[in-house]
Amino acid sequence: MGLRVLAAMSGGVDSAVAAARIAEAGHDVTGVHLALSANPQSHRTGARGCCTVEDSRDARRAADVIGIPFYIWDMAERFQRDVIEDFVAEYAAGRTPNPCLRCNEKIKFAAVLDRALALGFDAVATGHHARLVDGVLSRSADQGKDQSYVLGVLTREQLGHAIFPLGDSTKAEVREEAARRGLTVADKPDSHDICFIADGDTRGFLTKRLGAAEGPIVDQSGDVVGSHQGAHGFTVGQRKGLHIDRPAADGRPRYVLSIEPVSNTVTVGPRSALEVTSITCGRPLWNGPVGDGLGDSGSVSDGPAGGSGDLTVQLRAHGEVYPCRFEETEGGLRIEIDRPATGVAAGQAAVLYSGATVIGSATIVSAA
């Protein structure tokens, strides 16, 4: 017997093919496009932005080709509060958030899933490149497009009501299938960067909301080497756009090492000073397979016993993975990685894997 499935359709090729596959498998599918902007633009700018009028029309056309009902749900107010305002607040606090991760956590698999279940749907399907095996999240077959990292914040219950139809396919295969199915989005560029900052100017977006505030750029000795118009415009590991007045004596480039929002100070130094091997995290969530020390509730106390086995950690979306060990601390985790990482920023997620399987995630607080 088929399931009642709500297919989230962004207007892109991945979600269109995902919806088509679910419908072809015999499920009762309804397409829904999430209107996340209160003032959507008429057109996208290349691969930037989302939630435009064009995107909603592309999603509707895809639903018509597939032959499924289609609706638009207004999620703009919730998106503004849970994603955009959170994004601004995190930068104001000197952290570097991941809005795609927060959108999955708060919108697609909280607000949308809750409404879908209340309406009698059994599951929500999306076009994410990730795999689910018996409710357990794993990496996509297409390593270059794998999105398990940004789904690592989902609970076991949420994953139990999720369907990711594209997990065993490459992006090239998805586009070829879209063309065969007559979906006009087959060649549509992927959206990237931050969807609600269509022009890609994150610093300008934050300055409009937080205001300009001149502050010092200092080196590791505390000497002032430049100035800036707001510490919120920087992230750990950043090299470009620093506007340093006094170049380093050795002529090597400088990178952002730390951000202090209270004093509005940005500290810079050599790339070697970015290297860390010990990462402190908060808000751990265990969503991996039951067994090997994993319990059912997803709480810290139900986590795995320690860093044995083939464990790795990913610290940024599409970033490197590092062999690791970890131990639980009071309310958090300490992760030790086997080789130095650079650009590890507070506010990002640390997603733990056993092989290709996600076992849990936590929010980075600091690194050394």
**Taking Cα atoms as reference points, which of 297, 357, 359, 289 lies closest to residue 326?**
359
Pairing of strands 28-35, 265-269: unpaired
100 is catalytic: no
Q: What is the dihedral of CA 300, 304, 309, 310, to 10 degrees?
A: -40
Name the residue among 94, 84, 86 with its Cα closest to residue 231: 94
From the list 282, 307, 309, 60, the residue with the least C-alpha distance to 185 is: 60
Angstrom CA distances, 273 to 243, 270, 276, 309, stand at 19, 6, 8, 30
Say which of 50, 51, 100, 103 is annotated catalytic: 103
Q: 85-92 and 202-210 helices cross at what angle (nearest 10)?
A: 90
Give the Cα separation of 95 and 232 in Å (integer): 8
Is-contact 223 244, C-beta < 8 A?
A: no
Please tell me which residue in 50, 51, 100, 195 is annotated as part of the active site.
Answer: 195
Known catalytic residue at 195 = yes
Which residues make beta-bridge pairs with 35?
74
Q: Left, alpha or beta for 16 (phi > 0: left; psi -120 to 50: alpha)?
A: alpha
| CA–CA distance, 167 with 127 (Å, rounded to integer) | 9
Sign of the CA dihedral 91, 96, 99, 101? Answer: negative
For 10, the token pair is 């962004």
User: Side by side, which strands form the sheet with 4-8?
Assistant: 70-74, 28-35, 4-8, 123-125, 162-163
Q: Residues with catalytic annotation?
A: 103, 195
